[in-house]
Amino acid sequence: MEGKTILTGIRVNSEMTLGNFLGALLPMTRLSNKYSKNNQINIFIPDLHTIISDIDGELQKNLVKEIKYYLAAGLELNKNVHIYRQSYVPAHSELCWILNCVATMGETSRMIQYKEKSHNGDASTNVGIFDYPILMAADILLYGATYVPVGEDQFQHIELTRNIAERFNHKFGETFILPAKTVEQVKFMEVSNGSESEKAAGIRIRDLQNPEKKMSKSAEAENSKIMMSDEPARVTKKIMSAQTDSLGKIAFDMINQPGISNLLQIEALVTGTPLQDVISTWAGETHYGDLKKKVAASVSGYLEDFQKRVSEISDEEVYKILEDGEKYANEVAKKKLLEVQKAVKLR
């Protein structure tokens, strides 16, 4: 693949679970490293999207930390990798307004995320929640992005982006490159996501106490989740108390042994070993405690190294990366915005 733009907006959290890290941040890092030689990679902080909900006084601190996490995870920077803050590139907001005048109430009110967040259109909902996907369309269309790696909950927004872009092109002449259809997005993410076996399993780290569920930051029980900032003793305690089953054999079987399978998956990812190899190593073993000890040691060691790398990156370094990214983003986005303004006769 060559000459494409791959773009994603990353939600900034105050804290990140090992599940978020292994399931989203690390795959995006690998994807970037794999494609950045011949393609443009745009990773941006959608800070304007963030303020539709609680205004978080920690946003600046957290976004710096998030970028350090990418770097500590091994994100390789080169002239094709651009990291920027949405609000530092005014063209996003400006294009959003123009697209507001092309998108319809009908298609926008059909968005599942809008319905959920607005409790089916409750009158006290802020307009930002409604307009969210249109700003997202602007984020994507300004850069002519083809691939937009996101979670499933965002697929509907990508389809909406395609529809708006298509309508715009039809009404005002070819202006926008359409992002790939959802099915192609899924294929692209699968191909970029490591080994065959990992693909088959789907990288979704489970809740340690309820392994039928995804590991979630909002889980009540502390022992359900591993945070990227956890100390070794804490990690060990959590993994040793992970829920398993009473089958007494170590095998990868998400249906009947989700707890054990989750541990095998975590072991594979933090040691960088193909899942199949981890499964073979443990095949025939029966002591769950041994597996837990091994996984606890692997995760603790991994987090210790990771935290050390994070602590070695300075805030200044991060701001320099952002400023470079914003310079690039403004150049590209301004050019596209002017094209759009001309198309709708504002210029």
Residues forming the active site: 117, 214, 217
Q: Between 86 and 298, whose beta carbon lies closer to ligand TRP?
A: 86
For the bound state, the minimum distance from the C-beta of residue 271 to ligand TRP, rounded and expressed in Å, comes to: 28
Beta carbon nearer to ligand TRP, 11 or 181: 11
* Residue 4 and residue 179 in contact, taking contact as beta carbons nearer than 8 Å: no
Residue of closest CB approach to ligand TRP: 9
105 Cβ neighbours under 8 A, 6+ residues apart: none
Q: Which residues bind ligand TRP (CB under 6 A)?
A: 7-9, 11, 46, 49, 136, 139-140, 148, 150, 154
b/e per residue 52-73 (b: at least 16 CB within 10 A): beeeeeebeebbbbbbbbbbbb
Beta carbons of 9 and 86 less than 8 angstroms apart:
yes
Shortest separation between residue 64's beta carbon and ligand TRP, angstroms: 18
Give the nearest distance from C-beta 139 to ligand TRP in angstroms. Answer: 4
- Toward ligand TRP, which CB reaches closer, 54 or 316? 54
Min dist CB 201 to ligand TRP, Å, is: 22
Q: Can you tell me the distance from the alpha carbon of 53 to that of 235, in angstroms, rounded to the nearest whole number?
A: 31
Shortest distance in whole angstroms from residue 226 CB to ligand TRP: 21
Residue 68: phi and psi, rounded to 5, are -60, -35
Separation between Cα atoms, residue 94 and residue 333, nearest integer Å: 10
The dihedral region occupied by 248, where left means phi > 0, alpha psi between -120 and 50, and beta the remainder, is left
Nearer to ligand TRP, 166 or 253 (CB): 166
For CA atoms 148, 185, 133, 70, give the dihedral sign.
negative
- Torsion sign over Cα 215, 216, 217, 218: negative
The answer to whether 228 and 14 are in contact (CB under 8 A) is no
Nearer to ligand TRP, 47 or 317 (CB): 47
| Nearest CB to ligand TRP, comparing residues 5 and 300 | 5
Choice between 139 and 198, CB closer to ligand TRP: 139
Q: How far is the CB of 135 from ligand TRP (least distance, A)?
A: 7
Q: 44: which strand partners? A: 9, 84
41's enclosing H/E stretch is: strand 40-45
| Distance, CA of 76 to CA of 30 (rounded, Å) | 9
How big is the CA angle at 339 (ends 335 and 340), to the nearest 5 degrees? 115
Residue 55: HSE in the Cβ half-sphere, 13 Å Cα cutoff: 1
Least distance from C-beta 311 to ligand TRP, angstroms? 27
In whole angstroms, give the CA distance from residue 218 to residue 37. 37
